[in-house]
Amino acid sequence: MSALDAEILALLRKVSETAILPRFRNLSAGEVEDKGGNDPVTIADRESEKLLREGLARIDGTIAFVGEEAAHEDPSVLDRLDQPCWIVDPVDGTRNFANGHGPFGVLVARAEGGFTQSGWIYDCLTGRFCSAHRGKGAFVDGERVTAKGTGRTPPVAAISLVYMEEARREATKRHIEPAYALVDIPYCAAEQYPRLALGENDVSIFERTLAWDHAAGVLWLEEAGGKAARPDGSPYRVDEHRRTGLLGASSPTLWDELAALYAHL
């Protein structure tokens, strides 16, 4: 594990133990709010983001900070995505967390030029730590991993329909779902991306593609040998925050098969 990875892990572990886990199954009614569209935020999200902002500034305070909650309060924060920046989801899987169950985690990425250069995924309940740096491979708890599929026929798919418009949702059900064995989505990118590389799922479809949800996972999956890209094959950029649609797969072949079906939507 690199010195930077060790620093990030220490920070994520501390934030989890200080701001997140003490609130798990211990939230009062006034500590959970709805940002709109069934998108909850809790006191843990806000406290975690504050600690992460402070901790990442100590690691490198020369680059911008883009946090999910800061961007919700001030959308102009998103303008920082086109410059070197930290990108943070302080509690990924807040819906699960607020309802008293897992999975949930913390996502941190470092981006430059519109692309993730480093990404980290921390599972608060298990302590699993995924890390990746562009061109240097993907790791779980310091051990290099290579993406593997489930080996099942049909392949296993986790398809998020939550943010799709009705017409696209129905088209997905008709043209894509019959080709796969469907499993529930975890409502947590910090869990979904590891599933794609660790032999649990083969493919996923994401409609909403906000940087804090996907910057770390896209890089990690690709560095493991899987593939994540826009449905037209273009690479995922963190600064294209208004675009929707993202396909992930445990291998380029499985990605191509999913993209061919998606093209009929």
- Output the tens digit of pLDDT for each of the chain's 265 residues: 899 999 999 999 999 999 999 999 999 888 888 877 677 899 999 999 999 999 999 999 999 999 999 999 999 999 999 999 999 999 999 999 999 999 999 999 999 999 999 999 999 999 999 999 999 999 999 999 999 999 999 999 999 888 878 888 888 888 899 999 999 999 999 999 999 999 999 999 999 999 999 999 999 999 999 999 999 999 999 999 889 999 999 999 999 999 999 998 8
Instruction: Determine if residue 141 is labeled as part of a ligand binding site.
Output: no
Task: Give the model's pLDDT for residue 30.
Answer: 86
Q: Domain ranges in the chain?
A: 3-144, 156-262
Residue 193, token pair as written in the block: 């991306």
Task: Give the model's pLDDT for residue 136.
Answer: 97
Instruction: Determine if residue 73 is labeled as part of a ligand binding site.
Output: no
User: What is the length of the chain?
Assistant: 265
Task: Give the model's pLDDT for residue 213.
Answer: 97
Instruction: Determine if residue 68 is labeled as part of a ligand binding site.
Output: yes
Task: Give the model's pLDDT for residue 160.
Answer: 87
Please give the model's pTM, rounded to 2 decimal places.
0.95
Q: Could you tell me if 164 and 173 are in contact, meaning their C-beta atoms sit under 8 angstroms apart?
A: no
Fold equal for 3-144 and 156-262:
no
CATH code of domain 156-262: 3.40.190.80
CATH code of domain 3-144: 3.30.540.10
User: Measured in whole angstroms, how far is the alpha carbon of residue 179 from the centre of its chain?
Assistant: 25
Task: Give the model's pLDDT for residue 98.
Answer: 93
